[in-house]
């Protein structure tokens, strides 16, 4: 069901992109929008690991507690060994990136090593390895780039209307273009949020199987959520926030309704139910 839901949501996001391009420039605009999305996806597919690791100044490690936990999980579950990085951040968090399981990266902050037990750390890294094996890295990159393309096109439409550009045929409707400018980015954000939430639940379930104890991940998530509320990660690029195991952006109240991460209480409840059921 998660896979089917993701396919449907990705199709909806692509249709949004084409519709916005068509509203701005007709058939030519729709074609341009698709080509642009393809180029952006190609770049994110091949270079996402280098870009994100450089963004957070990650340092590759070949030994130590984090490396040993990842190596043990890979050996136990027959998974390809990814490259392992530590980020010089005191806020505890972790993410995975890379184009496929054979070219993947898992990363954790220095802060996560200070507050989690070894079993809890194993649960977190099992979650990240699950993202790698479930191809969530690719899905998330495509969703992010299409959403970015939609936002860019909406911005271009604004300037086209201001300077009298855009479509000038009889079927052109400035009100329809304005409506698409406003609604398409919002819809894209909601679709991207739904995709990310669905994949997080799946990674929790798969990660719990990899580490062998759902409660290890549940306890780690509880600690990470509390720590990120007390000390949000500074200078987070919003385009990468969905990659982290817990939301690194400070938010409460209505802001949490638009988070790319599902409610932490529900994630923990599902993990605990795996033990009870």
Write the CA distances from 222 to 20, 200, 202, 210, 217, integer angstroms: 40, 15, 18, 19, 9
| H-helix segments, 59-173 | 65-77, 110-115, 118-133, 136-162
Counting as low any pLDDT under 70, the low residues of the chain are 1-7, 9-10, 24, 37, 40-41, 43-45, 48, 138, 140-149, 156-177, 180, 188-189, 192, 239, 250-259, 277
Supply the range of the domain harboring residue 133. 9-276
Edge to edge, the sheet with strand 59-61 lists 59-61, 83-87, 104-109, 94-98
Domain-located, residue 14: yes
What is the predicted pLDDT for the residue at 35? 78
Distance CA 218, CA 13 (A): 32
State residue 3's pLDDT score.
Answer: 60
Domains in the chain, number: 1
**261 assigned binding-site residue:** no
Residue 131 marked in a binding site: yes
pLDDT tens-digit map of 205-223: 999 999 999 999 999 999 9
Nearest CA among 107, 94, 125 for reference residue 206: 125
Q: Which two tokens stand for residue 183?
A: 């609604």
Give domain status of residue 71, yes or no: yes
Residue 199: what pLDDT?
A: 85
- Residue 1 is assigned to a structural domain of this protein: no
Q: Which residues pair with 97 in a beta bridge?
A: 105
pLDDT of residue 257: 47
4 within some domain: no
Task: Please identify which of the residues 68, 110, 128, 225 carries the catalytic annotation.
Answer: 128
Told to judge if 265 belongs to the known catalytic residues of this protein, a careful annotator would answer no
Please give the model's pTM, rounded to 2 decimal places. 0.75
The answer to whether position 2 is within a domain reads no
Name the nearest CA neighbour of 125 among 225, 228, 240, 208.
208
Judge whether 3 lies within some domain. no
Q: Which of 140, 167, 168 is nearest to 20 (CA)?
A: 167
**What is the tens place of the pLDDT at every residue in 94-110?**
999 887 888 899 999 99
Is 62 labelled a binding residue?
Answer: no
């Amino acid at each position: 069901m998660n896979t089917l839901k993701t396919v449907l949501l990705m199709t909806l996001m692509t249709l949004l992109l084409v519709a916005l391009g068509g509203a701005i420039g007709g058939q030519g605009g729709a074609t341009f929008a698709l080509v642009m999305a393809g180029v952006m996806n190609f770049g994110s597919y091949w270079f996402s690991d280098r870009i994100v690791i450089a963004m957070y100044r990650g340092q590759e490690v070949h030994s130590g507690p984090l490396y040993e936990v990842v190596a043990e999980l890979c050996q136990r579950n027959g998974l390809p060994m990814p490259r392992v990085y530590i980020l010089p951040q005191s806020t505890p968090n972790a993410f995975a990136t890379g184009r496929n399981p054979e070219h993947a990266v898992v990363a954790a902050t220095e802060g996560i090593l200070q507050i989690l037990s070894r079993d809890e750390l194993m649960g977190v890294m099992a979650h990240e390895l699950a993202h790698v094996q479930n191809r969530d890295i690719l899905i998330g990159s495509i969703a992010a780039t299409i959403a970015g393309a939609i936002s860019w096109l909406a911005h271009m439409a604004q300037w086209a209307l201001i300077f009298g550009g855009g479509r000038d045929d009889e079927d052109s409707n400035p009100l329809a273009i304005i409506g698409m400018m406003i609604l398409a980015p919002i819809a894209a954000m909601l679709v991207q949020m739904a995709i990310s939430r669905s994949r997080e639940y799946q990674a929790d379930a798969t990660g719990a199987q990899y580490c062998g104890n759902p409660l290890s991940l549940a306890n780690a998530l509880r600690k990470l959520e509390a720590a990120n509320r007390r000390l949000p990660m500074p200078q987070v690029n919003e385009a990468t926030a969905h990659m982290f195991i817990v939301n690194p952006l400070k938010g409460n109240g209505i802001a949490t309704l638009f988070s790319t991460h599902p409610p932490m209480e529900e994630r923990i409840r599902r993990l605990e139910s795996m033990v009870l059921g």
